[in-house]
């Protein structure tokens, strides 16, 4: 019976982990899209159809979802930095909402661990995307700030 509980919990944790990563990626790219749309840059959302794995989601050139938009300038403009910042901010918002659920009353230990998993994946997604190296969002943000 303990083995069945363990397998069920492991499957649940894996499902929440993969779903959290996917949701963070989609929310991140939708935030980029909304910011680019606010600047009337006619963005396009692109989705990968094959070849994606959980490990690929955390690579710098993950293409599960991405946006493209046209800019007249070859230089990094302030709106490029705003568009770049929108994605990591979406990840922080997800982490904040999950943190509110973490502190609600009558939450079981398993429920708190699952919510903590969502918080962790959101913060890792934020941390990876804010790094100041190309092609991450942080490159554009830090380029504008410096």
pLDDT tens for the chain, residues 1 to 146 = 789 999 999 999 999 999 999 899 889 999 999 998 898 888 887 776 655 555 555 444 556 677 777 677 777 788 888 998 999 999 999 999 999 988 887 878 888 999 999 999 999 999 999 998 877 888 888 888 87
Task: Kindly list the domain boundaries of the chain, sorted by start residue.
Answer: 22-69+79-145
Alpha-carbon distance values, 139 to 71, 106, 108, 120 (Å): 17, 42, 40, 23
pTM, rounded to two decimals:
0.81
Tokens of 100: 């509110």
């Amino acid at each position: 019976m303990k083995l069945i509980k363990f397998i069920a919990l492991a499957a649940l944790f894996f499902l929440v982990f993969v779903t959290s990563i996917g949701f963070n990626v989609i929310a991140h790219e939708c935030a980029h899209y909304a910011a680019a749309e606010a600047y009337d840059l006619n963005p396009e959302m692109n989705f990968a159809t094959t070849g994606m794995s959980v490990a690929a989601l955390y690579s710098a050139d993950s293409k599960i979802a991405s946006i493209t938009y046209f800019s007249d300038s070859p230089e990094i403009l302030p709106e490029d930095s705003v568009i770049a910042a929108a994605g990591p901010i979406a990840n922080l918002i997800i982490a904040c909402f999950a943190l509110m659920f973490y502190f609600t009353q009558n939450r079981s230990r398993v429920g708190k661990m699952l919510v903590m998993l969502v918080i962790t994946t959101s913060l890792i997604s934020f941390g990876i995307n804010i790094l100041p190296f190309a092609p991450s969002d942080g490159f554009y943000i830090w380029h504008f700030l410096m």
